[in-house]
Amino acid sequence: MKKTSSQNSKNWGVAESKAKGYEDLEAFFNTPAKLARELYDSGIEGMKIWPFDPAAEKSFGNSISQKEIEDGVKIISAIRDEVGMDMDLMIEFHALWNRPTAKRIIDAITPYQPFWIEDPLRPDAVDALKQLRSEISVPIATGETAIGRRQILPLLENGAVDYLTIDISWTGGLTESRKIASLADLFAVPVAPHDCSGPVALATSTHFSLSQRNGFLQETARAFLHTWYKDFVDGIPKIENGRIYISDASGHGITLQSWVRSSDEVIVRTSKAK
């Protein structure tokens, strides 16, 4: 895995996930129909893919060739051919593109009826997102890298977001997230919390999603759930037939496994109040 502070396909950890039996990142590029069928048959009726990221990295998001568009479209088409419209497809752009190029890609994939386009532009480019939203028919999801109500409010006021994908651990915790959800509800915008920041964040996000009037969808990362999440903790929310459930345990329900604190490979820091 390449260490980088930016979104980069070389940092996806494909080799590590393949070694543990979950090759989803590689599979959506190389065997998308097989992956879609496997997910759908397990009860998962929505999948997120980002087939255009390598092209963005080549041009720094400034341009894309027709062949690169067609290669990405082939992936989406293969999924549709396998599971039809029964699978909700979320197409992630990782905020890597400029507005004209993002629109060009969106126009090419619109016939395949994506459920949403995620982060087509940076979430702080509110005017550009507003303009893009007026030019396309596909809903826009964004917000996971926006921090707090002050960054979320302009997106809502300008009609630049259809689904709010906040990350609870990045945006200010549960208290701020609840205020954001209430704010979004004023604009009739659903919230769909991001996942990828660890098992505690997932459990907390699940409680949040189930407690909010406009809680709509909870993202999960299948490989994480079946590998390092359960290697370190107990009490991960149960998922059955595409539905996620909180446990009966107190709090968020997550507990560290006993080996963690005694392992020589784990650094434990303890803070004490004055």
Note whether 118 and 91 are within 8 A (CB): yes
* Average pLDDT score over the chain: 91
Residues 57-106: tens digit of each pLDDT: 999 999 999 999 999 999 999 999 999 999 999 999 999 999 999 999 99
Q: What is the pTM (predicted TM-score) of this model?
A: 0.89
Residues 135-162: tens digit of each pLDDT: 999 999 999 999 999 999 999 999 999 9
CA distance 86 to 81: 11
Residues 96-136: tens digit of each pLDDT: 999 999 999 999 999 999 999 999 999 999 999 999 999 99
For the chain, list the domains and their CATH numbers.
9-262 (3.20.20.120)
Taking residues 239-251, report their average pLDDT. 89
Cβ neighbour number for residue 37 with a 10 Å cutoff:
15
Note whether 87 and 45 are within 8 A (CB): yes
Cβ neighbour number for residue 195 with a 10 Å cutoff:
22
The strands making up 88-92's β-sheet, listed across from edge to edge, are 46-49, 88-92, 116-118, 140-142, 163-164
